[in-house]
Structure 1
Amino acid sequence: MFLKSLPADSHLLQVFQANPDTARPLLDLHEVVLRGPSVFTPGERELLAAYVSGVNSCDYCHGIHTVTAEAFGVPEGLLTAALTDLDSAPIDDKLKPVLRYVGKLTRTPAKITAEDAEAVFAAGWDDRALHDAVVVCALFNFMNRMVEGLGIEAGPGYAATSGKRLHDIGYAGLAEHLA
């Protein structure tokens, strides 16, 4: 943890509690993006969040959102397989172009093309799906940089605790823990 006003072992929740003016709208956005109406299930959106975080090598967010995705029914080990080799991963063929899209948007955003979007549409998704995937991707690129920029780390077992909490109470519930 790089913030000197917080203990070295602080997690994101403690950063949010110390900064409720920015945390509250950010958690509201999380609730809308990850739990609000969408063509993607909450599990699929958590899968997208964990995938983007894995592409970014943000172990903190990747771990927590992998656990959350699994709590929503994403098979254990699926994210590891997707990050290792998306083409051979046991993921529904309809979802692979979406993951490919957010992966490219994360790695090389200036190289996204209309053809990349067309691959998502060709898999049977619509404009709302592309929009929702891009918003999840953007949110988690933001969060990954926030976590890494503040030096937030998690010890063993924290991902399981936090992921279960996010599954059980969501982001609106997390906002209730703010001062």
Structure 2
Amino acid sequence: MPFLSSLPDAAGVLDVMKAFPEAAAPLVDYHEVVLRGPSALTIGERELIAAYVSGLNACHYCRGVHGAVAEAFGVEEGVLTALLTDVGSAPVRDELKPLFAYVRKLTLTPSRMADADADAVLAAGWEEKALFDAVSVCALFNLMNRLVEGLGVKAPDDAYFAAAARRLTSGHDYSGYRRLIAHDHDT
């Protein structure tokens, strides 16, 4: 049950966005740029970062949705759990490990970020834009996790994650959400 009585009992993020379209529309646009725009990181890797940050924040809703989306884009089942357990031994490409270590530290102890953290990412072969993209996903999902948890949004069951992933993978973008928000707001 969400904390806002105006939302339906089984409210999801889309319901929140429909209720507050002025704030939601630019947020959806930012999702599109960060998660689907040009990047050295694949869509699956960016969705995995979103799920990873959400797992670090214990946001079951976002972890479930974006973990399912990452898997739909080719991330193997179990990778997210392995990353949350230990980045160093997780079954991801070696060059991704410094990125995940970076977003972990940025999520859990942001005031402790240092040049050495960025240097490790760049030394793994990533360009500055890839680091910017990873930081952008991390920042977006720290925000989204607070919105979801702060408004009491919960998935009704684990089957919800697969349905949400289908919505976010059909057409491969977030612009469908933008259209849904605008359509409901106009009617």
Partner of 1:80: 81
Partner of 1:64: 65
- Spell out, residue by residue over 1:13-50, the C-alpha distance to the aligned partner (whole angstroms, 9 max, x if none): 11111111111110000001000111111111101111
CA–CA separation in structure 2 for the residues paired with 1:28 and 1:106:
23
Superposed, 1:100-111 pairs within 5 Å as 100-111=101-112
Partner of 2:40: 39
One-letter code aligned to 1:164:
R
1:174 equivalent in alignment to 2:177: yes
- Spell out, residue by residue over 1:89-121, the C-alpha distance to the aligned partner (whole angstroms, 9 max, x if none): 111100010000001000000001000001001
1:133 equivalent in alignment to 2:134: yes
One-letter code aligned to 1:175:
R
- Spell out, residue by residue over 1:62-85, the C-alpha distance to the aligned partner (whole angstroms, 9 max, x if none): 000000000000011100111011
Partner of 1:145: 146
Per-residue deviation, 1:8: 2.2
Partner of 1:7: 8
CA–CA separation in structure 2 for the residues paired with 1:73 and 1:149:
31
Contact 1:2 1:8 in 2 (8 A): no
Secondary structure at the aligned position of 2:58 is classed as coil
What is the RMSD of the two structures over their aligned residues, measured on CA atoms? 0.8
One-letter code aligned to 2:7:
L
Per-residue deviation, 1:165: 1.0
Secondary structure at the aligned position of 2:87 is classed as coil
Contact 1:102 1:137 in 2 (8 A): yes
Per-residue deviation, 1:133: 0.6
Contiguous gaps of at least 5 residues in structure 1: none
Per-residue deviation, 1:59: 0.5
Q: Which moved more, 1:3-12 or 1:43-52?
A: 3-12
Normalised to the residue count of structure 2, the TM-score between the two structures is 0.94
CA–CA separation in structure 2 for the residues paired with 1:142 and 1:87:
26
CA–CA separation in structure 2 for the residues paired with 1:19 and 1:158:
22
Query: Following TM superposition, where does structure 1 have runs of at least 4 consecutive aligned residues deviating by more than 2 angstroms?
Result: none
Q: Which moved more, 1:140-149 or 1:8-17?
A: 8-17
Per-residue deviation, 1:87: 1.2
